[in-house]
Each structure stands twice: as C-alpha cells, then as structure tokens.
Structure 1
Amino acid sequence: MEPSLVSCVLGRHKPSTWNYMSPTKEVELVPLSKCCSEFDSVIQSIDTTFRNKISSMVRVQNPFLWGSYLLKREECLNRGADVTEKKLFHATGELNVLSICQNNLDWRRSTRTKFGQGVSFSPSEDYANMYCNQLAGSMRALIIATVLVGRETQGNCGTIIPPRPYDTTIGRYGQVVVKYNDNEFYPLYVAYYSR
C-alpha cells in the first residue's frame, strides 16, 4: 500500500518546529508561549509598532497543505523556474482562521482585487491590516505565510490570471503581492490582534 501524502509529510518532511501529530488529525493550531524562542523569532519579523498589538500566536500544522506546498515548490524548481520563498502577511477576521488553516487562503473569497483577482499578501503587516475587509471586525488575525514568488508583473482589477510567463502580480510599488494558484502559499503562523 502506497503511503499517503500526510504520512509522508509527518514521517519525513515536517518542519523541525512541529509537535507530534496523529496521522488522522487534519490540522492543529499550536499556541506559542511568548517566552519561547519560536515566538521570539516570528515576532522579530513583525514591525515594532505592530508587535504591541499582538495578543497571542499559534503555529499552523496542516500536513496536507504543507505537503501540497512542498510539491508545488518542487514542481517549480524542477521546471527551472526562478522562484523565491517570501514571508508575507495577510490580514483577516479572527473568525476566518480555522477555515484558512484547514483549507488555505482561497482566491474565490477575495473582495479587494485592485491588483488582481487572486489572494493578496503584503510585505507590510500595517498595509495588510489597512486593506483587510472592513467586515472582518476589530478582532483580527495576521497570517504569516510562506509564498512562492516567481516572475512578477503589474496587476490591475481586470487581472484574472497573470499573462504568461508570469505567476504573480504586484501593485503599490511592491506593497501588494497577488497569487493565483493553489498551494503556492502556506499559512505558517497566525498572530491575533485587535484593530
């Protein structure tokens, strides 16, 4: 019997920071203590002024999504694509977190599509928060994601998918990064804050 993607990930490809997970468990949100080195490492990637808003943080452990991301990364590299992994931010309402951690971010749910009709990320947590859907309320979540970025082109509201050979659109002088393909991003951490 062939091993499943989940068992392969848990057996050989899971990040060293992950806690033990049962192969039957779909997703686990692991709370990070503010005094642990992993929390400190992640918080250092967040701008100082934004850090003070963060009340708690969890690590996302989803073996299926992680395995799918690794396969996508390997596919890009095997095709000779010039791809880099970037840590980017996506702000959303706290109520969306479980769905995102189970199923990943979904371009079909995008409401702000000024630079393309995909999933928007930003290298700036303030910018991500500023353009978070206002219906998200005041209890928010900052998704810290690893994102595969290859060839970029300027996006606009009419961009349904970037023209060949591009896989990413950008806007606002690089403050917005839009992805269109599933599994080209993975939610590593979720930092909870209030607006």
Structure 2
Amino acid sequence: MDNQPTTESVLEEISIKSVTEPKAIIKNETFLKEILQLAPEFNSWKHQTFNEPFHLVLDNCPNVQDSYAQTNYSLKGKFYASKYVIRVENPFLLAQYYLKKIQVQERNGMVEEKEYFHGTPGYNLVPICTNNFNWRKVTHGKFGKGVSFSPRSDYAKHSTQETLLEDMPVLQDFFEEYSIDCSMYLNSMFYAKVLQGKCQTADKYTINPVKSFDTTTNGKDTVFVKYEDFEFFPEYIVLMEEAKRYNIIDYDKKMGGWKLEIAKMAMYVTFPVCLFHYFNQPEYFEEWVVKTKREIYPPESLNKKTEYEQAVRKLREKQDRESVELMEKS
C-alpha cells in the first residue's frame, strides 16, 4: 500500500504541471437561429425556445396519418391503428440536420429528402428525441449495420414493442397536458425526415456502403439504412394501438368516402346471397371470400403464390376428388 504512487507524483512524472478545469459548453443561440432560418417547419412550432432539450406537441398531422394508413395493409403480424401523432420540437437536432443537409449537398451535388417510418420500443422515445437515432447501438441489421427506416408503416411495426404509458415517467407531463390515459398499452414508431443520396443493395454483413453511396437498401425499396450522424430528424412520434384488421377509419382513408358508401351498400345487398352460399355451397363461399380479400389487399402485399391461387387450387382438387368418388360409387 505504501508503494502506490500518488496523483501528484504521477503528474510530475509525465510532466503535467496542472489539470485544467473543464469549461462549460455555452449555447450559441444566435448561430442556432441563423441555421433554423433554413428550416420552414421551425416557424410553425409551438415552442421556439432553447431552454429545454425538446418539447412534445400533440399534432395528429393529416400527412402523417395518411402516410401511415396508406401503407398499413400487410397481412403479416398484428394490425395497429394510429391513435396519437406527436410532433417532436428539438431545435438542436433540427439545426444539426440542416447543417448536414448543406454538407451532403456540397459533397454530392444533390440529395433527396424523404420521410420514413422507424419502429422502436417505448423506452427509446426520450433518448431519440434528445440525441437522435444512434447507428452505433445497432448490433445487427439485415441490410447493413446502420439505422433502418422504411416507407411502409406495416414494415416498421415489426420493430415496435407494446409499452404501458405509466412506465414512461419522463413523458408524464406531456400525458397530463393533453389528458392522455396512462393506463393504456401502446406501440410506438417515429416518422422521420431522412437525407438520401445514392443507394446500393446490402446484406447483414455490410458495415458501410461503398464510396459515393450513402444509403443501403434491401433491393425492394422497403428498407433504407443510414450510417452517418444527423442524416435524419425524428419529426413525429406515432403511438398505435392494436385493432381489428378491417379498421373502418383507415379503410375510409384508403378508398375515399364515396367509395366506402358504395361498398357498404353492396354489403347490404350481397349479405343474404353470402348466407345462402355459405349454407348451400360452402366451396363457392370460400372462393368468394378469398377473392374479396385479394381485392381489398393489393397483390404486391401477397407472396408470389398468392392466397387466392392457393385457395382456388385446393378447391378444384377437392371438387375433383369428390367427382372421382361419385363416379366410383356409381
């Protein structure tokens, strides 16, 4: 114990006379305001101050709602309907995003600004709202070790996790301000601005895109992966609740009001016919249901061997077997 070196002896040995006291980081609000003049969305924010890391404002933006509903018809997994859309007002992240946009434009000559979804568990909401998405925390990724985004809400939902709102104490002030029931279990995803240049197809072994590329994809344009800081901005939070797959509100947004009314009338007319076929010709009814489901859900959401084709093939095989059995009995 007596032979252990003291702090003074160590500093003397490495020729350090003294240790400088850490300096406090001072916010340059003038510079921030100059940068945010490039951001038109900042002018519409409720909080245009720099005294808090971020503010949350209940927005229910129609553009976000429509984008969510229009890409939320996948048959895979649970169905989630959007319940709340919350605007993230973080001037520091927004300024960094626009600085990055200028840098990328000067480097590449052009850059596209996209709006994508990013699913995440509820405990990540505050860290992302404060410090942005962090590609360093990605330990694995199917299409590159970066931050993954998707233009489809029904793809991003697979990365979400049901969370009790009471378990997010940092957001309790926000929930109280807008009288949101904290006893609910909701899933969450971000609707983010993303800078996108040239894309290349990647796999799980990709660490960085090759030179002159800044984004990797899965080759189907349903996943986009980013690898640099501040190439994205978490603009909105979408809180979702599990619902029945045939959600009438989302369906109305997809079809349009007048089309929905026509569909309702058609249902009233065809319902007795459906009952008749259900009890008298179950095979016909099965084929009709599968065909109707195919019309509601676009073909691109199904596999190459669609459910409709598989159901029709099974139905025909069943009819053939029954015909053979009748012939053998006769």
Look up the match of 1:88.
Answer: 116
Look up the match of 2:103.
Answer: 75
Q: Of the candidates 180, 186, 191, which is equivalent to residue 227 of structure 2?
A: 180
Look up the match of 2:289.
Answer: none
Q: Deviations over 1:106-162 (max 9, x none)?
A: 1122254010000000111101112x16xx336321200110010101111111111
Sequence identity (%): 33
Structure with the higher fraction of residues in helix conformation: 2
Once the two structures are TM-superposed, the CA of residue 31 in structure 1 deviates from its matched residue by 1.2
Query: How does 1:43-192 map onto structure 2 within 5 Å?
Result: 43-48=65-70, 50=72, 53-130=81-158, 132=159, 136-137=161-162, 139-192=186-239
State the alpha-carbon separation in 2 of the partners of residues 116 and 12 from structure 1: 31
Segment drifting more, 106-115 vs 92-101: 106-115
Would the alpha carbon gap of residues 49 and 162 (structure 1) be closer, same or farther in structure 2, given more than 3 Å must change?
closer
Would the alpha carbon gap of residues 168 and 10 (structure 1) be closer, same or farther in structure 2, given more than 3 Å must change?
closer
Once the two structures are TM-superposed, the CA of residue 13 in structure 1 deviates from its matched residue by 3.8
- Which of the pair has the greater relative contact order for Cα pairs under 8 Å at 6+ separation? 1
- Please state whether the residue corresponding to 2:128 is helix, strand or coil: helix
Once the two structures are TM-superposed, the CA of residue 4 in structure 1 deviates from its matched residue by 4.9
- Please state whether the residue corresponding to 1:82 is helix, strand or coil: coil
One-letter code aligned to 1:42: V
Check the 8 A contact 1:153/1:170 in 2, yes or no: yes
One-letter code aligned to 1:58: I
Look up the match of 1:8.
Answer: 34
- Taking structure 2 as the reference length, the TM-score comes to 0.52
State the alpha-carbon separation in 1 of the partners of residues 240 and 35 from structure 2: 31
Once the two structures are TM-superposed, the CA of residue 14 in structure 1 deviates from its matched residue by 5.5
One-letter code aligned to 2:62: D
Check the 8 A contact 2:29/2:50 in 1, yes or no: no
Once the two structures are TM-superposed, the CA of residue 41 in structure 1 deviates from its matched residue by 2.6
Do structure 1's residue 41 and structure 2's residue 67 form an aligned pair? no
Which has the greater radius of gyration? 2
Structure with the higher fraction of residues in strand conformation: 1
State the alpha-carbon separation in 1 of the partners of residues 65 and 51 from structure 2: 31
Would the alpha carbon gap of residues 185 and 175 (structure 1) be closer, same or farther in structure 2, given more than 3 Å must change?
same
- Please state whether the residue corresponding to 1:161 is helix, strand or coil: coil
One-letter code aligned to 1:47: A
Q: Of the candidates 38, 48, 51, which is equivalent to residue 21 of structure 1?
A: 48
State the alpha-carbon separation in 1 of the partners of residues 210 and 38 from structure 2: 36
Once the two structures are TM-superposed, the CA of residue 69 in structure 1 deviates from its matched residue by 0.4
State the alpha-carbon separation in 1 of the partners of residues 154 and 128 from structure 2: 20
Check the 8 A contact 1:29/1:59 in 2, yes or no: yes
Structure 1 segments, 4+ long, off by >4 Å, are 1-5, 9-12
- Please state whether the residue corresponding to 2:211 is helix, strand or coil: coil
Q: Deviations over 1:26-65 (max 9, x none)?
A: 1011112x5xxxx223212222474961111110111110
Would the alpha carbon gap of residues 151 and 67 (structure 1) be closer, same or farther in structure 2, given more than 3 Å must change?
same
Structure 1 residue ranges without an equivalent (≥5) = none
Structure 2 residue ranges without an equivalent (≥5) = 1-25, 74-79, 164-185, 243-330
Would the alpha carbon gap of residues 118 and 76 (structure 1) be closer, same or farther in structure 2, given more than 3 Å must change?
same
State the alpha-carbon separation in 2 of the partners of residues 107 and 79 from structure 1: 21
Once the two structures are TM-superposed, the CA of residue 73 in structure 1 deviates from its matched residue by 0.5
Once the two structures are TM-superposed, the CA of residue 7 in structure 1 deviates from its matched residue by 3.9
Once the two structures are TM-superposed, the CA of residue 9 in structure 1 deviates from its matched residue by 4.7
One-letter code aligned to 2:217: I
Would the alpha carbon gap of residues 28 and 155 (structure 1) be closer, same or farther in structure 2, given more than 3 Å must change?
same
- Please state whether the residue corresponding to 1:102 is helix, strand or coil: helix
State the alpha-carbon separation in 1 of the partners of residues 104 and 37 from structure 2: 23
State the alpha-carbon separation in 2 of the partners of residues 178 and 64 from structure 1: 23
